Amino acid sequence: MKNFNIGKLTKAFNIEIDSIASDKSISHRCAMFSLFSKETSYIKNFLTAEDTLNTLSIVEQLGAKVKRDGSTVEISPRETLNEPNDVLDCGNSGTAIRLFCGFLASVDGAFTLNGDKYLNERPMKRVANPLRSIGANIDGREDGNKAPLFIRGAKELKPFTYTSPVDSAQVKSAMILAALRADGISKYKENELTRDHTERMLKGMGATLENDNEGFINIHPLKGHLKPLNITVPTDPSSGFFFALAAAITPNSRVLIKNVTLNPTRIEAYQVLKRMGAEVNFIEKQNVYEPIGDIEVSHKELNGVVVEDNISWLIDELPALSIAMSLAKGKSLVKNAKELRVKESDRIDSVLTNLKKCGVTFTEFEDGYEIIGGTLSKASINSHGDHRIAMSFSIAGLFCDMDIEDTDCILTSFPNFKELLDSLSK
Ligand code: S3P
C-alpha cells in the first residue's frame, strides 16, 4: 500500500500530452469482442493497466492466442472457446465482470468470475436478473448479487424486450452480448443514452443493431462470425480529465490532451468545466468507430454549477469535478447521481469524507451533494482503494499540497499518472 505527497505547484504550465492512458472502456471491449471473429484482431494503444490486462488474460484463458508487445496486441481466437481450468479474475473491474456475464451466458462450459475485495461487494443482480430471465444460469453470493459469480453456459437464450431500471452501459453491453447469441431479435431500452462503445464497435464488426422509433435497440442474433477489429484505441477522456482539471485550477495554465475520444457520452465533464468558466475547445481530427481529436483546456476563474442531467455521461468524472467545485466561486449542486454509491467505492461518501478533511463545507444527499466553493486545505486523503478518488485529490495537491494514502489503485487505469503529474512542475 503506497502513499505519496503531491506538492503545491509554484508555476504555471502550458503542455501538450500524448501519453495519457488509453481508453479503458474501449480496451476491455476490444479484448472481449475479438472473440466474435475467427480472424486475428489487431489493436494498437491497448490500455496496459491492471483492469484491462486482467480482461486480456481472461480472453487467453478462454482459448484465444494473445501476442502483446507493449500496447500493441494481436488476438487470434479459436473456433470454439475453452472451458478454463481456473477462476477468471476480473480484479477491480465492474466492466469486465458484468460484460463477461453477458458474453459467457451461452458459452458451453462452467465459468467462475471473481474480483478483488472491492468488486466483490458491488451489485451484480442488475445483470444477473435480466440474464436469468432469458435462460442464463448465473449464481453467486447473496442469490447471485455478489461475486464470485458462477455461470454454466445455457444451451439457448430467449430473445427479450427489456427496459433497464438503471442507466448503465455495463448492463446494456451485457444484454447486447447475450442477445447476439439468442434465438431471435432482442430489444433493449434505457432511459438516457449511456456510453455507446459496444454498439459502435459491434456494428463496425458487422453485427446488426438498429435503433427503432420507440427508443429500443434491436439486436439481431449473429449468423456466423464477425469481422476482426483493426483499431487504435484513443486516449481515455476520463483519465485526461485529471489534467483538464489541473489546467482549470492553475492560473495562466493550459493543457492540450491529444487523440481523445470525443464521443458525446464521454466528454460531458469537459462541458461542465466550460460552464463553470474554464476555456475548453474540442478539435475533431478523425472518425474511426468514434469521433477522435484533441481537447484544449485553459484556466479562467471558476464559478459554481448545477449538475443534474446526463449524469451517466460524466459519472466517472464527478470526483474530479468536486475538486473544481470546491475551488469555484459560489455553490455547486450534484443531483440524480445515486449510481455514485456503487462505483469502485461509495463515491459520495469517499468524496465528502475527504473534502471534510480539506475544510470544505457541503451538504450530503442520497443522490448527490451541494458544495460551498472557496478553497481547499492540505489533508491526508484516504483513497478508499478507488483510483479516481486518489487521482482527483492528487490534482487538488497542486493547489494546496496533499498526502494521498493507498495509491496502488491508480494502477488499475492510469499507471503513468504520477509520472505525468510530476512533469507539470519540471
Ligand atoms: C463503463 C460504464 C460505466 C462507467 C465505468 C465504465 C463501461 O459504468 O462508470 O467506469 O465501460 O461500460 P456503469 O455501466 O455501471 O454506469
CATH number, position 244 = 3.65.10.10
pLDDT at 196 over 90: yes
Number of domains in the chain: 2
Q: Is 27 in the pocket of ligand 1 (CB under 6 A)?
A: no
Distance between CA 421 and CA 166 in Å, rounded? 35
Ligand 1 atom at minimum distance from 29 CA: 11
Ligand 1 pocket, residue 198 CB under 6 Å:
no
Look at ligand 1, atom 11, and give the residue with the nearest C-alpha. 25
Q: State the cell numbers at 260.
A: 481523445
Query: Buried b vs exposed e over 104-122: b needs ≥16 C-beta within 10 Å?
Result: bbbbeeebebbbbebbbeb
| Beta strands at 137-140 and 306-307: parallel, antiparallel or unpaired | unpaired
Task: Say how many Å lie between the CA of residue 31 and the centre of ligand 1.
Answer: 16
pLDDT digits (tens, 9 = 90+) for 297-307: 999 999 999 99
Shared-domain flag, residues 301 and 399: yes
Report residue 2: phi and psi, to 5°: -95, 145
Reported pTM: 0.98
Instruction: Give the β-pairing of 14-17 and 254-261.
Output: parallel
- Pocket mutation for ligand 1, best pick of 29, 170, 310 (most atoms within 8 Å of C-beta): 170
How many C-beta atoms surround the C-beta of residue 234 within 10 A? 25
Domain identity same for 18 and 28: no
- The reply to whether ligand 1 has any atom less than 6 angstroms from the CB of 412 is no
* pLDDT exceeds cutoff 80 at 1: no
In this structure, the answer to whether residues 103 and 196 fall within a common structural domain is yes
User: 252: exposed, middle or buried (C-beta count within 10 Å: 0-12, 13-18, 19+)?
Assistant: exposed
Of 232, 252, 286, which residue sits at a domain end? 232
Expressed as residue numbers, the domain containing 174 is 24-232
Residues assigned a catalytic role? 316
**Does position 187 have pLDDT exceeding 80, yes or no?**
yes
The predicted model gives 248-274 an average pLDDT of 98
pLDDT at 426: 85
The domain boundary residue, chosen from 232, 254, 276 = 232
Say whether both 366 and 383 belong to one domain: yes
Across the chain, mean pLDDT equals 98
* Ligand 1 atom nearest to CA at 25: 11
